[in-house]
């Protein structure tokens, strides 16, 4: 009951805060929980999206020419401003297989709403073919499905400073009881799903600079399927009650196929 009442108060007092790009979005919740630094070759599909050479968002490799990220990361940006780095673990030190790629074209979903973040998905066409190796590879995507956990990984802030993490981090997050706290103008289950805020998460959630980062599920020790990308939340460590909202990738099968072609 207290959760519902508090949400109503927040929704009327500051409705834009839930979807604000100025509010933080993998953090440890600032409460002592821990996240792990990712080892080389573990998640070769994760990329860093930069604005004028500064990391702003995550994404994943769709095929040898296209990256999937959040529309909110690249909305109203030009190809001259956006870069993509594959094979990256550290934002400040070179990594094996790391390659910075210029962007040839930015495809924001034609029905993206920058206020509500509905259809928060974009594809970036790279200026050259991505060469796959142990540190750089594409991954498939699928429906959210069942299962007790998922993994989210990115370079988001990890403490109150809201400063980007210099190392790629990962965290296990678990499904919520439900997503009933979100009003219809904020949450559309046809195109979104919510995840996290479970008792098992210990406060872990995506943070600022994690937008566009993939949420994925392990189907074997070395194989993962991406089910969503970070779209919006109330903040990281600022709230104890709200789940993170992800773009539901399975809803965009046709759009991704038309835009980026088939996967390998």
Domain ranges of the chain: 21-37+139-250, 46-138+253-260
Q: How many helices (H) and strands (E) does the chain have?
A: 3, 13
Q: Do domains 21-37+139-250 and 46-138+253-260 have the same CATH topology?
A: yes
In the chain the first and final C-alpha atoms are separated, in Å, by 48
Predicted TM-score (pTM) of the model is 0.87
The pLDDT of residue 103 is: 98
For residues 103 and 46, give the distance between their C-alpha atoms in angstroms, rounded to a whole number. 16
Kindly give the parts of the chain with pLDDT less than 50. 1-25, 29-32
How is residue 198 written in tokens?
């479970």
How is residue 246 written in tokens?
């992800």
User: In terms of DSSP H, where are the helices of 45-163?
Assistant: 71-74
Name the CATH code of domain 21-37+139-250 (choices 2.40.10.10, 1.10.3720.10, 3.10.20.520, 2.20.25.90): 2.40.10.10
DSSP 166-223: SB-EEEEE---S--TTS-TTT--TTTEEEE---TTTTT-B--TT-TT-EEEEEEETTE
The pLDDT of residue 253 is: 97
**114 contact partners, CB below 8 Å, separation of at least 6:** 71, 72, 75
For residues 163 and 161, give the distance between their C-alpha atoms in angstroms, rounded to a whole number. 5
Q: 3-state SS of 43-69?
A: CCCEEEEEECCEEEEEEEECCCCEEEE
Q: What is the pLDDT of residues 51-89, one digit of tens each?
A: 999 999 999 999 999 999 999 999 999 999 999 999 999
CA distances, 115 to each of 37, 77, 111 (Å): 33, 16, 12
- What is the helix (H) or strand (E) element at residue 230, kind and residue range? strand 223-232
The pLDDT of residue 3 is: 35
Q: Which CATH class is domain 46-138+253-260?
A: mainly beta
The pLDDT of residue 207 is: 86
CA distances, 206 to each of 21, 26, 82, 126, 197 (Å): 13, 4, 22, 26, 11
**78 contact partners, CB below 8 Å, separation of at least 6:** 106
The pLDDT of residue 239 is: 52
């Amino acid at each position: 009951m207290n959760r519902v009442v508090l949400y109503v108060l927040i929704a009327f007092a500051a409705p834009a805060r839930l979807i604000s790009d100025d509010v933080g979005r993998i953090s440890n919740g600032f409460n002592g929980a821990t996240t792990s630094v990712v080892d080389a070759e573990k998640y070769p599909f994760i990329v860093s999206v930069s604005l004028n050479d500064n990391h702003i968002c995550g994404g994943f490799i769709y095929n040898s020419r296209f990256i999937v990220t959040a529309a909110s990361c690249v909305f109203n940006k030009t190809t001259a401003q956006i870069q993509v780095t594959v094979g990256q673990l550290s934002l400040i030190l070179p990594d094996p297989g790391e390659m910075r790629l210029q962007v040839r074209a930015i495809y924001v979903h034609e029905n993206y709403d920058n206020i509500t973040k509905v259809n928060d998905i974009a594809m970036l066409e790279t200026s050259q073919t991505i060469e796959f190796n142990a540190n750089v590879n594409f991954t498939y995507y699928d429906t959210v499905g069942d299962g007790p956990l998922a993994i989210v990984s990115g370079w988001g802030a990890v403490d109150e400073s809201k400063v980007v993490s210099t190392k790629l981090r990962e965290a296990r997050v678990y499904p919520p009881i439900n997503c009933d706290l979100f009003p219809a103008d904020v949450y559309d289950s046809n195109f979104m799903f919510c995840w996290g805020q479970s008792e098992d998460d210990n406060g872990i959630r995506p943070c600022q600079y994690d937008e566009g980062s993939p949420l994925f599920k392990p189907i074997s020790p070395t194989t993962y399927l991406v089910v969503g990308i970070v779209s919006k939340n109330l903040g990281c460590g600022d709230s104890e009650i709200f789940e993170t909202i992800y773009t539901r990738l399975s809803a965009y099968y046709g759009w991704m196929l038309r835009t980026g072609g088939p996967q390998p």
